[in-house]
Amino acid sequence: MRTYFLACACAALFLGAPIFGQQRQTGSLTPAKPADQTELTNLLDARIKAEWEAIKQKNQKALGDLLSEEYVGVEADSEGERFKWKAKSELQESAVTDYTLSFLKVVPLCSDAAFARYEVFIKFPPKSIVKFEKLLVGEVWVKRDDKWQLLRHQETKVK
């Protein structure tokens, strides 16, 4: 009986140690409050719409202003990663004629970073082989000099 009690106490201590060892995070790593999160969602919604409008209009300056200098994007075309300069230079080849954004969800990571995920339905010209495409997108946005910029972009094609 004594051995059983000792084994249970050791197991409880071993399994509970990670819980007791955690410390509360403070400072800039605290998540946003609900009101702040709504404001952040609205702000990033506008930035994401501006991103896709720049793609649709083939506006290199507008897209460049939205992307951070360290930007890396991986599009659903299986052609690997794209840095800021490549994303801007490929813009003239874009065949996007229209888009619809939906299901935006923003998760604050800290006061200066957030993860956004959404769905985009892209339309291409009528004479294109592919008429439309549906993508799930994940993005990391960072706040630099009071300006939210896109740091990472990942697309996944939905069938």
Domains assigned to the chain: 31-158 (3.10.450.50)
For residue range 74-117, list pLDDT tens digits in order. Answer: 988 878 889 999 999 898 888 888 999 999 999 999 999 999 99
Phi, psi values for residue 32, rounded to 5°:
-70, 150
Tokens read off for 24 = 């509360």
- pLDDT above 70 covers what percent of the chain? 78
pLDDT at 128: 81
- What's the pLDDT band for 7 if we cut at 50, 70, 90? very low
E-strand ranges in 20-159 read 67-74, 81-83, 98-110, 113-123, 132-144, 147-158
Q: Of how many residues is the chain composed?
A: 159
CB 81 within 8 A of CB 29: no
Checking if the pLDDT of 138 tops 50, the result is yes
- Best CA proximity match to 44, nearest among 66, 75, 62: 66
Mean pLDDT (the chain, rounded): 82
Strand pairing partners for 147?
144
- What's the pLDDT band for 2 if we cut at 50, 70, 90? very low
Ramachandran quadrant class, 85 (left: phi over 0; alpha: psi -120 to 50; beta: rest): alpha
